[in-house]
Amino acid sequence: MNTYKLNDILNFIFTDKKSAIQNLKKNGLLLENLSEELKKDKEVVLTAIRNNPKSFKYAHDDLKAEAEVVLEAILMNPQSTDMVLWHADKNLVEMIGANEPISYLKALILKKMLSNQLRLNSTEANINKI
């Protein structure tokens, strides 16, 4: 029978991507404890955010500068907008505009909705061809 040390198990949980994603689906705030490498991984961070938008603050700074990641955190819980913008990359926030963040985010949301609608329409068109 194999014996494992607790540190080895925790190290695996917090450094292995597949294991991390499984655990983040249950508790997004575990992102805080993951390796820096995993905090840079967009799939890992988005999984955490989809479970708990507050986990955004533990993402790597590079991902805090990506509009897609910021938008996902806000879409998951619009009440978290202030917290997300507080932790987001300051250059991104400046680009959004201090006086216009809501307008910019609405435009991103609309763009994402339209993109999803276009994918739905193209899927329906392909289905209708069958």
Give pLDDT tens digits for 37-78: 999 999 999 999 999 999 999 999 999 988 889 888 888 887
Q: What is the pLDDT of residue 109?
A: 66
Among 114, 101, 66, 36, smallest CA distance to 46 is for: 66
Instruction: Delimit the domains of the chain by residue range.
Output: 6-129
Residues 94-121 have pLDDT tens digits of 665 555 556 666 666 666 666 665 554 5
Look at residue 46 and give its three-state secondary structure. Answer: helix
Query: Could you tell me the pTM of the whole model?
Result: 0.67
pLDDT over 50 at 125, yes or no: no
